[in-house]
Amino acid sequence: MTSKGHVVVAMSGGVDSSVAAALLQRQGYQVSGMMLRLWSEPGREMSNRCCTPEAMGIARRVAGQIGIPFYAVNAQDTFRDTVVEYFLDGYAQGGTPNPCLACNRHIRWEFLLNRALALGADFMATGHYVRLVREENQPVRLYEAVDQHKDQSYVLHVLEQAQLQHALFPLGDLTKDEVRAIAAELDLPAAQSKESQDLCFLAGQDYRDFLDRYSPQAGSPGPILDRTGRQMGQHDGLAHYTIGQRKGLGIAAPEPLYVLEKDIARNALIIGTRAELGRDTLVTGPVIWQSCQAPSAPFAAQVKIRYSARKAAATVTPLPDGSSEVAFDEPQRDITPGQAAVFYNLEGEVLGGGLIQGEAAPAPAARESLIQIAV
C-alpha cells in the first residue's frame, strides 16, 4: 500500500495518543512516535502527569507493539521558559492564565512540530478531540469534536494555517468510549490509563502552593473591598482567587458574595453579590483567525470564555489593532482575564479567539450592522 505520507505522533503514554498512532498506521501513513521531556519541579519528577518515567515507558511499549520508531525530545528548558513563566506571569498580573494555551501554541505546535518537520515528516498528529476539514485550494478548517464532552477545540484555537496545514487529529470523529474500545481491541498498554485534569507541571499539588514558592509576590495579602470601596476583609493573595469564586472568602454576609475582579494597583480583591457578578462585554488581545482574514464588520457568533463553559450568543467586533470586543446577548458570570474567548459559528467551526483582557465598554452601534460569517 502506498504511504499517505510521514506523520509524527506526539505521544504521552496515554490512551488517546496511543490510539491516534495506531489508527494512522492502519490508515496507511508512515508513523513515528515522539515524546517530549517537559520541565518538572525538582524533586517531583516522578509525579509530572505528562512525562513520568512510567509514561515514557508505556509510550515506548506502544510504539514497539505497533512497530513504529520512537523518539524522546528534551524540551525542559523551553517548557520552563515558555509555559511555566506564562503561568507565573499571568497570576502576577492579576489574571487566571490557562497554560495549556501556551503549551499547545509554543511547545506542541511550534517546538515539536519543527522537530517533526526536520525529520522529514509531512504531518504531526496528536490525540486531541477536534476535527479538521480539508478542501482543495481552501484553508484548513477547525471544528469541534463529535464527542462534545471531550472536545478540545478551545485550547487549539491558537493554531494558525501554518500549523493546521501539517496537523492531523484522528480522534475527532470518535467518542472516548470508542477510543478505549479500540485500545482494548489492540491490547495497547495504555488502554486503561487514567485521565487527570491537573496541570502537568504541578504534579498533583495545589497551584497556590506552587505560586507561593515561585511567585511569592502574587501571594501578598491585601484588602477585600466591595464596589463602594468599603473593606470587607483581608485576602491571602490575589493569585489565590478567581473571578466568580464564592467559597473561601471568609466573610459572613446576608447573601452569598463572589469575586468580581482583582485590582492590581491596590492589591485589592473586589467582591459583590451574584447580581453584580454578570458582565455582558469583554475585550480580547490580538485574535488568531483560523481560516479567514479578520472580518471587516461585527458578526454574530457563539463564544466560549472558558474551556468548560457553554457557548453563549454574542456579537464580535474586530478592532483595528487586531483585538476584538465581544458583546453577549445575556450577561456572563465568569469573564476572566487570562482565559480565552473563542468564537464559533453555528456549525461548530472555530472562527478565531484571543485572550480576555477585561471588560469592554458597551458598543450599541455594533449590533446595528451584524453579519453572519460564512467561512
C-alpha cell at 126: 496528536
100 is catalytic: no
Of the candidates 40, 45, 41, 113, the one whose C-alpha atom is nearest the C-alpha of residue 73 is: 113
Q: H helices then E strands: how many in the chain? A: 10, 19
Q: Which amino acid is at 294?
A: A
Q: Are 225 and 271 in contact (CB under 8 A)?
A: yes
Q: Which residue has the cell 469534536?
A: 145
Contacts 24+ apart (CB under 8 A), 113-119: 113/163, 113/166, 115/8, 115/34, 115/73, 116/8, 116/34, 116/166, 117/166, 119/6, 119/8, 119/32, 119/71
Q: Determine which one of 50, 51, 100, 103 is catalytic.
A: 103
292 is catalytic: no
Q: Which amino acid is at 312?
A: A
Q: Can you name the residues that pair with 270 across neighbouring β-strands? A: 225, 261
- Exposure on the CB side of residue 346, measured as CA atoms within 13 A: 5
User: What stretches of 37-126 show up as alpha helix (H) in DSSP?
Assistant: 53-66, 76-79, 85-92, 99-102, 113-118
347 SS3 class: coil
Phi, psi of 22 (to 5 degrees): -65, -40
81 SS3 class: helix
Distance CA 367, CA 198 (A): 39
Q: Determine which one of 51, 100, 200, 292 is catalytic.
A: 200
Q: Are 47 and 88 in contact (CB under 8 A)?
A: no
Of the candidates 324, 315, 314, the one whose C-alpha atom is nearest the C-alpha of residue 294 is: 324
Fill in the DSSP letter of residue 362: P
Q: Which residues are catalytic?
A: 103, 200
